[in-house]
Structure 1
Amino acid sequence: MDNKNALRAGALAAGTTLMMLLMSSPALALTRDDGDDPGPGLSVIETLGLYVLCPLVLFAVIAGLVIVLDGSKDREPKTRAKA
């Protein structure tokens, strides 16, 4: 019975993916819409800074704030008493 359910789920996923691919039209992305005003492109350094460095810095700041503002006094993990 599990094989039948897995086959049904796979067919549903494949059908959904196929429909999404057929419904999307990437060729229309080449034509500009009225009022479309794209800005200048980003350089490689700007792209890396925006999508790599900024998230890493934000993660480090949040992690640092959590560590600094943690109110617990006991930093060592508690060990179980041996019976």
Structure 2
Amino acid sequence: MDKKNALRAGALAAGTTLMMLLMSSPALAITRDDGDDPGPGLSVIETLGLFVALPIVLFAVIAGLVMVFDRSKEEHRVTSRNIKTKADAKA
């Protein structure tokens, strides 16, 4: 019975995807709509800055803030000072 439900779900997902692809015609994207007022395009440098450099900078800033304002206890942090090795355990 499990196989039958999986087959039914797969057929439904495939059918839905096919219908969505058939309903959205990319050729209609060429024609302009009334009131459509696109701005000037972005250069390659602007595009790379906006979609590549800016997310990397934001990630670095957030990671830095988290590291600076970390208030966890010292014994819970993994550092070279609190790692126990087998030689340390015997001594």
1:40 equivalent in structure 2: 40
Identity of aligned residues (%): 82
Q: Which amino acid aligns with 1:65?
A: L
Alignment gaps of 5+ in structure 2? 84-91
Give the 5 Å matches for 1:1-83. 1-74=1-74, 75-76=77-78
Query: What TM-score results when the alignment is normalised by the length of structure 1?
Result: 0.82
Superposition deviation, residue 62 in structure 1: 0.6
- Decide which structure has the larger Cα Rg and report it: 2
Q: How many residues align?
A: 80
Superposition RMSD in Å:
2.1
Moved segments of 4+, more than 6 Å: none
Q: Which one scores higher on RCO, CA 8 angstroms, separation ≥ 6? A: 2
What stretches of structure 1 of length at least 5 have no aligned partner? Answer: none
